[in-house]
Amino acid sequence: MGENREIQKGVWEGRIPVAFRLSEEDTDGERPEPVYLMVPRISYFPLHTEKINKHFLKYASEKESEEIWLEHDNQPLKWHYPVGLLFDLYGSETSLPWTITVHFKDFPEEELLHCVSKDAVESHFMSSIKEADSLKHRGQVINSMQKRDHKQLWTGLLHDKFDQFWSVNKKLMESSGDETFKYIPFRLYMVDRHYMTNLFRPLTEEGHHQSLKHLLLSAVPQFFNEEEEFQKHVRIHGTEPLLDTPILWLSENFSFPDNFLHLVISDK
């Protein structure tokens, strides 16, 4: 981790300025002032909405439900997607703060999962980490950990503690010698489509490193021209990594805390 610690810390410290506004349909009277927060890219919205809930609930016209849901520009936001992924999908660096509408009613049952407590986020987060380790190490690393290690991963994310999280997560990111990752945990996202993924090895059979371009050629060959030039943009954590970046290095340093590379493909 040594030489890459500053990169990992930089990814961890990424923030998005967000303006939360109560939906016009959710109040009978005057709309309250927005709530402004700097939200970590690597986190999940339900871990930061307690203040928003308390601020807006007294203005809401229907008090029977305290479960809020969020949308941007008529797009309901999936709470189990990391904040930075949602922003790279639907937000814009040229339009900040990111304006998000808060709803208390008319929950979009067919588009969103319910999230009644932070326990649901923890369950989803740990399930994702276990899935990632099954791809990287056949699940051997996560299964060999103590229960307190699992809890430390969660509380590190919950309380925004980089050192606490990475003191355990570094074990999940070990890939030296013969113990390199078996497959790269990744998902590719585009607006209005389900995410895409496949089984992709970081090394060829000859032991050569594969790059982000190789991964994209494997997963979305339709987005390359005859000269094998990528015709789209790919972003993660608000940046466009070079296509010749080794995918193993990207996985070790740019994965979200759930240990997945969440890559957004777009035209712009």
pLDDT of residue 59: 82
Q: Are 215 and 184 in contact (CB under 8 A)?
A: yes
How many Cβ atoms are within 10 Å of 249's Cβ, its own excluded? 17
Predicted confidence at residue 158, as pLDDT, reads 97
Output the pLDDT for position 1: 41
**Cis amide prior to 108 (ω within 30 degrees):** no
pTM: 0.94
Bridge-partner residues for 39, per DSSP?
A: 16
- One digit per residue, the tens of pLDDT, for the chain of length 268 reads 446 889 999 999 999 999 999 998 888 777 899 999 999 999 999 999 988 988 888 887 765 566 899 999 999 999 999 999 999 999 998 999 999 999 998 999 999 999 989 999 999 999 999 999 999 999 999 999 999 999 999 999 999 999 999 999 999 998 766 678 999 999 999 998 899 999 999 999 999 999 999 999 999 999 999 999 999 999 999 999 999 999 999 999 999 999 999 999 999 6
DSSP tag of 210: P
DSSP assignment of 158-209 equals: HTT-HHHHHHHHHHHT---GGG--SS--EEEE-TTS--B-----SB-TTSPB
Residue type, 4: N
**Tell me, what's the pLDDT at 265?**
97
User: How far apart are the two ends of the chain, measured CA to CA in Å?
Assistant: 33
On whether the CB atoms of residues 197 and 188 are closer than 8 A, the answer is yes
The answer to whether the beta carbons of residues 67 and 115 sit under 8 Å apart is yes
Work out whether the CA dihedral 255, 260, 264, 265 comes out positive or negative.
positive
